[in-house]
Structure 1
Amino acid sequence: MNMIDAVNHKLALLDEQSLTRLRRVVESPCAPRVVVGGRSMLAFCSNDYLGLASHPRVVAALREGAEMYGAGSGASHLISGHSLAHQLLEDRLAEFVGEHLESPRALSFCTGYMANLAMLTALGADGDAEIFSESLNHASLIDGARLARAQVKVYPHADVQALGALLASSNATSKIVVTDSVFSMDGNLAPLPEILALCERYNAWLVIDDAHGFGTIGASGRGALEHFNLRSQNVVYMGTLGKAAGVGGAFVAAHSSMIELLIQRARPYIYTTAAPPALAHALLTSIDIIGSDEGASRRAHLQALIAQLDRDLHLKRWERMVSRTAIQPIIIGSNEEALRIGAGLYGKGLWVPAIRPPTVAAGTARLRLTLSAAHTLEDVAQLTAALNELEDLR
């Protein structure tokens, strides 16, 4: 078997297991209604939770940023790529989430994936470090833990007692607990108050990936720390800016000394070109909207959409997971049926992705519905009617 034949064999095996992934080309701006292959679709698959990706004020700010700063940054942050726009954004983010941190400072990144790699490789670089990782953590956290070259111990999902036992038995000089706040495939929240209490008891860092919480939970949209009213110098907090904030990038907020350590030691930060300053300029407007009355209204509308799902979705065979967040998964079971139902919805003009292993465990293939404040009650009514009808068809 030559090399290309070997590659094709691997692809054929994926296809046999209904694990082949498909890219679709979107021909319109990010919104609930998009054009795909010349066809108008009602989409429930975007992480644009507050509907800011096409918000007129954010779009105008992006245009203004390009006029002020140009198209690109030209270098890494530590060479010449750190613009005034980046600095203003970091200052604004530190202020926005800072009341939940000691001596807060923020650092911006091109992506959440990169931010997670940076945090864990920098924190885990000490020779005697142990990372305690939640079993359902995002792939970027798993990869960051692997690249850190520290000993990694995985604790069961949301099992505070098991985590406590692991921390109690650890003799590591540096202990790092890492968890999602809102789990991306389940939509539920980690028990962060209990986890933070353990971290403070055992002198451990708590790395929180709030990718799906920032902007959407907390009274002012400040995310999981605000939602649970947490404050600690032990917290290293990551929020993404391409989901609820509607633009792109990510940030880490923590004690100012921790941020300085990342600047000096985090390779994914040091050795990459800074994101275009225009994005940072646009994000200043996104953060203003998130924290305003308009942001509160958009979060309230999200909860109204979830309540409509509660009322109108009548499942008998499938399982809708318990979630009060914009992520609303429906467990189908087999890969084949999940793909069939996804295709059935697509045929009705509804775009809902079928999520399969290895993203989720075998036997738990699901539809991952994501709601946006830009959806209407009528949009959700159309979705629930289609789901109820398709579940009845075997």
Structure 2
Amino acid sequence: PTGCIHSAAPREAVLVREEKQEEFKPIEQLTMRVATPFLKKENKAESAPTSIPRANMMRVGVWAADYYEQQRRSRDQQSWSVLLKPSVLGACVAVAGRVVVAPLVLMLMFFATGYLTTGTVFIEADSSIFAFTARDPSMVGGCVGCYGPCQIMLLKYSVFGESALASGTTFSAMARKLPTLTNYDFSSLSDEVLALGAALDANDTICESGITVWGSVQAVLTGSAQNVWDVVNTLQLDIAPQMKKELELAVTTPDNCVSMWNMMAITRLFKYPTVVGSATFANIPAADINVFPDFTECRPNVTVDDSLVGSKLALATNGDDLLAVTPDILKLFPYNFESSIPAVSRVVEASGTHYGATTVMEPLLRAYYGGCRVRAVNTTGVFIEDTCEVSQHWESYGLMVHSPDDVPLCST
């Protein structure tokens, strides 16, 4: 009729569509078999209706059918010879080694050797894998890229002024800078100090400062005993009387034991008691100055007593001993003051020393109160050097005891 449009699709196209639908029937059935387990919900009486598009299910079905057919053909073509492939043999050997051979080797090592009884934690230097030359600029002090003019070193030591201690923050801010002349203002140094810096550079004195591989901030000067003596006196540095006497003996009798000497300012942790009778001490970083020879056997034996420096009472404790109970880390090394901390001998046995000495003198750790070095701690109170005046800044922290570095060093 007029106004109506009739479909005139060829009969062949209709037949092709019907054939394709027939071809997809097995695939749809396979798709439903594959997808049904994933569409079911556990512990439900009725399954929720799925909304997976029919076209997506058909694509999954085609892929699953192809994969299944490939795996079937692969299994049919395989034989026992596949077990002789290098990859299979290697995997078998690896598994057998880990499951069977390795346990047997460990048992043999434990029970047939002295592995469990002769192992040592502390390795002597001769057996150590770590080695360096004492004068190697890349390793001395464990500070790489820290060498510079001694003029910079003198400026960093001037932070101490005439005090025995320097704030860890103040010292670190100055000492951690790169030793480049353009980084510093030397206007605070006198002509005498600047001339000393030039003289130290002229006689090859080693000056370094910066951050060590252990994370400590340090400033180190290495030269002759006379060089170190000149720096101490020119800057009027307040170093321990015992150290100053050792250095003086090295200057006046240089032939007794020839050695280079070092002066090192470095940030350390000091521990101070917060509650009397408790082993829990608080920490505060601060910097002080240490003087010591390159060869430990060249350190003179100087006794700290009233003939070297006097003492005076700085804090009365009314019968309380502030160091009656201390952390174990404060019981490892000798100190230069009297206290109830168990005494540790300063003389230790040594082997392979430069001059063949069989014993050496260990350095003495220190304690401070009010920025002054401590002479004694007992039930009466805290005694300090009689030449020192208490600083209000440091007095607020109370008794500060020098603690050794807690640096683990492990190797295999």
Indicate whether the TM-score tops 0.5.
no
TM-score (norm 1): 0.21
TM-score computed with the length of structure 2 as normaliser: 0.21
Which structure's residues are more often helix, by fraction? 1
